[in-house]
Chain A
Amino acid sequence: GAVVSQHPSRVICKSGTSVKIECRSLDFQATTMFWYRQFPKKSLMLMATSNEGSKATYEQGVEKDKFLINHASLTLSTLTVTSAHPEDSSFYICSAVSDSTYEQYFGPGTRLTVT
């Protein structure tokens, strides 16, 4: 079946640094990808919609200058958390919508810890 990967699976960074998370669709093309974050025992919250070749659309309350999204190809979207703070520590999950089947697949998630 279709697979979406995320890299890294876990990352620890120091406060004030930036960290990049990759989301790849491995065997299908995806013009549209989504980024979610999930706090412990909470639901997934949509952060932004990533569209290949155009600017990302951010949900209300999500700072676009802090969470930079780049969707430069049909199989890769990246989320960069800039000037990370401990409150950015969370589980970040991406999903990708297949251009051919319109089915949506989720990645395995990236655990970010900011110290």
Chain B
Amino acid sequence: SQKIEQNSEALNIQEGKTATLTCNYTNYSPAYLQWYRQDPGRGPVFLLLIRENEKEKRKERLKVTFDTTLKQSLFHITASQPADSATYLCALDIAGGYALNFGKGTSLLVTP
């Protein structure tokens, strides 16, 4: 069955450092992969989308890589800030459509 795994439930880092979150998937050939931010009691907020033929994408302090051979995506937040503290979700398309299959998320805590 298709599985999405995010490396750890929680990640604590110091302000100013780079946070790196991992998303691995199995039994899947996604057309694209997305990263979302979710704050407690709120819906997910879209951050970045990367397609299967793209290796890397950047948006301000965010960077996503996508390795379809390793079946892995890395999500980086550079110069992290306490305001970046949230849960980050990795999501893959279901059969190339708009419906998504989500990972459990990694809870990031950035301390001053």
> A residues touching B (Cβ–Cβ < 8 Å)?
4, 6, 32, 34, 36, 41-46, 49, 91, 93, 97, 102-109, 111
Contact = CB atoms under 8 A, between A and B. Distances in A.
A109 B102 contact: no
B50 interface: no
Contacts of B98: 32, 34, 97, 102, 104
Interface string B83-112: 000000100001000111111110000000
Interface residues of B, number: 19
A107 B42 CA distance: 8
B9 to A, nearest CB: 8
Given A34-B99, A105-B46, A44 B41 contact: no
A43 B99 contact: no
B44 A43 contact: no
Nearest to A103: B46
Top 8 closest A-B pairs, CB basis? Answer: A106-B43, A43-B102, A44-B102, A43-B104, A109-B43, A108-B43, A106-B44, A97-B98
Nearest to B34: A104
Nearest to A49: B99
A45 B91 CA distance: 11
B101 A109 contact: no
A44 B99 contact: no
Contact of B89 (A4, A43, A91): A43
A100 to B, nearest CB: 14
A6 B42 CA distance: 11
A53 B99 CA distance: 18
Interface string B1-23: 00010000100000000000000
B105 A43 contact: yes
